[in-house]
Chains A and B, each alone.
Chain A
Amino acid sequence: MALFEAERLHMRFGHRVVLEDISLAVEEGELAGIMGPNGAGKTTCFNVLTGRYRPTRGRVTFAGEDITGLPPYAIARKGVARSFQLMNLFNDFTARENAAVALPAMRARGFDMARDAAADPALAGAADAVLERVGLGGKGHVVAKNLSYGDRRALEIGVALAAVPRVLFLDEPTSGLGAEATARLAGLVKSLKGSVTMVIIEHDMAFLFGLADRISVIHWGQVIARGAPAELRENPWVRASNLGKLT
């Protein structure tokens, strides 16, 4: 059975149908890619999967449990983490504090009003370990808004990882990054592959084709093709979008 499954998701805002009929399955340990043109419904799909919106119809299951319509924080606690297309950090916190807030240990003592959060070595140690993992070791003391754009992207993934997720959703992790920073990020994603199940929305097809085990192509709110990168190269939509030149 797949770790994360969406069955026949349908999402409507008023009269506008954004997701027509989406079914996805993500196996434990794999890196699944989602691609498609602008406005295809990729981000809406993520928002439904992670609880931001409740689907009009359809079902989302995680580890065999129906999580459709649960609030986002409850889904997050079950082990589903995500990053955002537009940068979403705690800007006035340092990198270390950003990671620390997301730790399960912090969540467990969320209503502790007496202990000093800064003096808890367990929190600082675990936060530093996460920063090390995303290549921000040594930058723990830097306030998030003062980090470079690429570092902020990495921290965004770090915050998601700090929650020790079983599945990690990344919404266009390379958006706004130059070639060098994109390569660095690809290295980071590659290093995480296998240790955590990932689902990545991406515009940069070279990035996705190089990393994903399986890719679903979404267009008009439907999955119009899916398969391993090699199989998808033959797909007409993918061909039409000039992917051949990139790979």
Chain B
Amino acid sequence: MLAAPRTGLVTPAMLFAFALFASLPLWIGAVGLYPYLGVEILIWALYALSFNLLLGYTGLPSFGHGAYFGIGAYAFGLAQLNLAANLWICLAAALAAAAVAGALVAAFISHRRGIYYALMTICFGQVLWFIAIKAHAVTGGEDGLLKIARLPADFGVAAFDLSGNTSLYYFVFAIFALLAMALWRLVHSPFGRILQAIKQNETRATFVGYNVWLYKFSAFTISAALSGLCGGLFAMAQASAYPDVMSLHYSGYVVMMTLVGGGFVSFWGPVVGAATFFLARDVIGALTTSWMLWFGLLFMLVVLFRPEGLAGLWQDLRAGRFRPRAAARAGLLAILKR
């Protein structure tokens, strides 16, 4: 992950990803798919990138991350219905609410690592999911918050209507591009490097003078906040917010996307994973209702035999390596066993 002596603000892989996504509405119809799929992929790709700041870069397994995505979705809806029907205010509310929830949970778990960390993130995720279901008056319970509008993007000089799927797609793409660049910058900054140091050796990081707790706390809060922003976008895309996205199995989806894509060896791995996930849902899903069985099988194969994921496979093929690398270097199992 730290190969280049100097890290560009923009890289060829980034330009390729941006070009692919920027042109997506032009060709997605031609391949038999539809623009709304692009919206879903981008939102979840950004969510997976935010998640991977924790899992891939800091080595913290968070298995209840859906909670922050969901809180962002509810905050977006509640701000719109009760506060102000302004896109920027609603997105800020989504970001802030998830940041606060993330910070609160992080305060309780940041002294842990490995399997105990994972278990505590599941516990808090379940608590928040349960609250979302039971707090009928606020969240609408299992029905969720309905009638969330796709608010126009008002830039003062010009306002853009986002009610159509293509215009919403471009809006989500702009946010994705900005935040992906910011995250790219962050993981190569001193802060990002210290997170990676903590992933490799928490004890060593402590004894060279880093307050490891504070770094883990910060990483979790940032990751939760960005996940919340994605939740806000998703509420807008779906025109509703519902508790499903906070459940354990939705939290599992983002883990699967990140691992299948190869978040341990590549910054862009989670994006590949999110795209693979939705393509599997639509393409395999068109053939059989049990598409998740096949995707789940792929996930298990990756965890067991190719912890570097699809991005790792691609790197290996390009480098002419056909045998899997010594897998212990990364991998979910290695992180959990600490």
Measured between beta carbons, the chain A residues less than 8 angstroms from B201 are: 88-91
Contact residues on B (Cβ < 8 Å of other chain), bracket: 20 to 34
Q: Pick from A91, A114, A120 the residue with the most CB of B within 10 Å.
A: A114
Measured between beta carbons, the chain B residues less than 8 angstroms from A40 are: none
Measured between beta carbons, the chain A residues less than 8 angstroms from B2 are: 92-94, 97, 118
Measured between beta carbons, the chain B residues less than 8 angstroms from A119 are: 6-7
Q: Which residue of B lies closest to A86 (CB)?
A: B203
Q: Which residue of B lies closest to A116 (CB)?
A: B7
Measured between beta carbons, the chain B residues less than 8 angstroms from A100 are: 193
B55 to chain A, nearest CB (A): 15
Measured between beta carbons, the chain B residues less than 8 angstroms from A93 are: 2, 196-197, 200
Is B189's CB within 8 Å of the partner chain A? yes
Cross-chain pair count, CB within 8 angstroms: 110
Measured between beta carbons, the chain A residues less than 8 angstroms from B288 are: none
Give the CA-CA distance A38 to B200 in the complex, in Å: 29
Measured between beta carbons, the chain B residues less than 8 angstroms from A102 are: 208-209
From 184 to 235 in chain B, residues with beta carbon under 8 angstroms from any chain A beta carbon are 185-186, 188-194, 196-197, 200-201, 203-212, 215, 218
Is B329's CB within 8 Å of the partner chain A? yes
Give the CA-CA distance A111 to B208 in the complex, in Å: 15
Is B158's CB within 8 Å of the partner chain A? no
Is B12's CB within 8 Å of the partner chain A? no
B289 to chain A, nearest CB (A): 42
Is B286's CB within 8 Å of the partner chain A? no
Q: How many residues on A have C-beta within 8 angstroms of the other chain's C-beta atoms? A: 40
Give the CA-CA distance A92 to B197 in the complex, in Å: 9
Task: Convert B296-338 into 0s and 1s, putting 1 for each residue whose CB lies closer than 8 angstroms to a CB of A.
Answer: 0000000000000000000000000000000001000000000
Is A159's CB within 8 Å of the partner chain B? yes
Q: Which residue of B lies closest to A145 (CB)?
A: B329
Task: Convert A16-58 into 0s and 1s, putting 1 for each residue whose CB lies closer than 8 angstroms to a CB of B.
Answer: 0000000000000000000000000000000000100000000
B200 touching A91, Cβ below 8 Å:
yes
Q: A93-B200, A111-B218 are in contact. List 4 more A-B contacts (CB 8 A).
A: A50-B207, A88-B207, A118-B2, A118-B188
Residues of A in contact with B (beta carbons under 8 Å apart): 50, 71-74, 76-77, 81-82, 84, 88-94, 97, 100-102, 104, 106-107, 109-120, 159-160, 162-163
24 contacts between A and B (CB under 8 A): A73-B207, A81-B207, A88-B207, A90-B196, A90-B201, A90-B205, A101-B193, A101-B194, A101-B197, A101-B208, A102-B209, A106-B194, A107-B208, A109-B190, A110-B190, A111-B190, A111-B191, A115-B189, A116-B7, A116-B189, A117-B190, A118-B4, A159-B208, A163-B209
